[in-house]
Structure 1
Amino acid sequence: MSTVTPLSWLWEWPHWVPTLLPGLGVALLLTVISCGIGYPLGFLLALMTEARSKPLKWTALVLVEVGRGIPILVLLFVVYQGLPSVGILFDALPSACIAFVWSAAAYSAEMIRVSIGTVPRGQSDASYALSMSRFDTYRYIVLPQAARISIPPLVSLTITMFHATSLASVITVSELMHIAYQQGAIYFNYMTVFTAAAVIYLVITVPAAIFADRLSKRLGGVTSVRQTAFRRRRTPAPIVTGI
């Protein structure tokens, strides 16, 4: 690499992109595993929270609240450094997968549960009046509508999980930030390397965020904060006529 000057990072950061790409592959792999396994588990937990069996319901509630209440960073340390003290040992990558899957399952379960709750109760009552079973009611009436509502926030959660993969560097997973920190330490060129890492994150997340906004609009979901901020000045304030 060339000699570092105060402003050299402005034009030297592209040289580091090929070095960081293997870390991007690991970050994407973590995202796919955490969401690909976590979302089906979240769907199962959401159904369990609606179960009539109290043990089943409370088991799901505990798993969801613990997964949402503990930061992913703490989960990473618990799995990677805490479990070995009780005789359970995982390598760095499997430990990260376990922590991210649990977190993704917990957050997605709450999103799916809320989506199910937004389906009007009258539709379920009408299906029961037509002698439909509880299973058929969920299969043909409740779940299709809940899926339409839950897809946009789940896409946004996927972007968040991709961001969170950078935390796996603390347990030596060779993802994007771990490689960036190593290269910065070797060449003492943190600004340039971290700029390259930031650009890689932007290239992935900005198009994904735009896709999430358009998907939310198409499915009739809630628009994101970023989209609302852009449109706030162009939207006239509502006229309050009375209460």
Structure 2
Amino acid sequence: MNGLLNDWSTYSPDLLKGLWVSVRLAGAALLIGLPFGLLLAVGSSAEQRWVRTVVIAFVEIGRGTPALVVLQLFYFGLPSAGMTLTSFVAASLALALTTAAYTSEILRGGIQSVPQGELEASEALGMPHRDTLRFVVIPQGVRVALPALMGFAILIFQATALAYTIALPELLSAAYSIGSSTFEYLSVLVLAGLFYAAITIPASWLSERAGQRMSRHL
């Protein structure tokens, strides 16, 4: 047991650096993907048929393509087209597209939950459709979707582990690097798992609490 604790104290600094990269990567993916997902959610109910078709096609392709494939495409595929990206940028954009595709459906459900009577009231007051979306529909829809969005954010944080395949020094990559040089794979991977849990367990609790509060409000 003492040996395990000694290993953990030795490996922790490098793993914490990897954890910080994972947190930054998840934050970048959410920062880019959530607004894009909101645009897709609004576009899926647009009056123009071609807009709805394009949005639905993008969402279905984004949800049907594994995040790892998208990640490999951005990092290894784009250079062949003359666009070279760093591993962090490639991972951020790949996870952002996955985030947008999935959260668009979550946000669409929240938007559709807004009572029809409020839309009719806005129309009766002469509010333009853009203002109705901005001040009535989107704020309420996002609030309803918030617990599910928080749960998806946890999944994106866990998905940052895929970035080890493109040599991004995130948490799992740091654990593999230490394991390959010390052959102490068990202790270092257990410690990496504890670091992931230190983020995901409190986040899951907050997501559950948010869902409970929303249920009481509704």
The TM-score normalised by the length of structure 1 is 0.83
Q: CA RMSD in A?
A: 1.9
Aligned equivalent of 1:18? 13
Deviation (angstroms), 1:48: 1.2
Return the letter of the residue paired with 1:129.
A
Deviation (angstroms), 1:11: 6.3
Determine the C-alpha separation between the residues in 2 that align with 1:148 and 1:220: 11
Establish whether residue 56 from structure 1 lines up as the match of residue 51 from structure 2: yes
Aligned equivalent of 1:66? 61
Mean CA deviation greater in 80-89 or 32-41: 80-89
Instruction: Note the alpha carbon deviations across 1:131-150, whole angstroms, 9 max, x for none.
Output: 33222322332222212101
Deviation (angstroms), 1:194: 0.3
Contact residue 37 and residue 101 of structure 1 kept, 8 A: yes
Deviation (angstroms), 1:106: 1.1
Instruction: Note the alpha carbon deviations across 1:221-240, whole angstroms, 9 max, x for none.
Output: 8xxxxxxxxxxxxxxxxxxx
SS at match of 1:80: helix
Aligned equivalent of 1:238? none
Determine the C-alpha separation between the residues in 1 that align with 2:116 and 2:80: 48
Aligned equivalent of 1:216? 211
Establish whether residue 185 from structure 1 lines up as the match of residue 185 from structure 2: no
Establish whether residue 84 from structure 1 lines up as the match of residue 114 from structure 2: no
Instruction: Note the alpha carbon deviations across 1:50-101, whole angstroms, 9 max, x for none.
Output: 1112222222222222211111111111111122233332221111111011
Determine the C-alpha separation between the residues in 1 that align with 2:92 and 2:127: 40
Give the structure with the higher percent helix: 2
Aligned equivalent of 1:132? 127
Structure 2, unaligned runs of 5 or more: none
Structure 1, unaligned runs of 5 or more: 222-243
Task: Summarize the alignment of residues 73-112 of structure 1 with structure 2, pairs less than 5 Å apart.
Answer: 73-112=68-107
Determine the C-alpha separation between the residues in 2 that align with 1:14 and 1:215: 35
Instruction: Note the alpha carbon deviations across 1:3-58, whole angstroms, 9 max, x for none.
Output: xx9x9547633432112111111101101100011101111111111111222222
Aligned equivalent of 2:27? 32
After superposing on structure 2, the runs of 4+ consecutive aligned residues of structure 1 that deviate more than 3 Å are 7-12
Instruction: Note the alpha carbon deviations across 1:177-199, whole angstroms, 9 max, x for none.
Output: 00100100100110011011011
Contact residue 13 and residue 195 of structure 1 kept, 8 A: no
Determine the C-alpha separation between the residues in 1 that align with 2:128 and 2:87: 46
Contact residue 24 and residue 176 of structure 1 kept, 8 A: yes
Aligned equivalent of 1:231? none
Deviation (angstroms), 1:117: 1.1
Aligned length: 216
SS at match of 1:220: helix
Mean CA deviation greater in 144-153 or 51-60: 51-60
Aligned equivalent of 1:226? none
Deviation (angstroms), 1:201: 0.6
Return the letter of the residue paired with 2:118.
Q
SS at match of 1:125: helix
Contact residue 9 and residue 191 of structure 1 kept, 8 A: no
Return the letter of the residue paired with 2:15.
L
Contact residue 10 and residue 192 of structure 1 kept, 8 A: no
Choose 1 or 2 for highest CA Rg.
1
Identity %, equivalent residues: 37
Determine the C-alpha separation between the residues in 2 that align with 1:199 and 1:14: 13
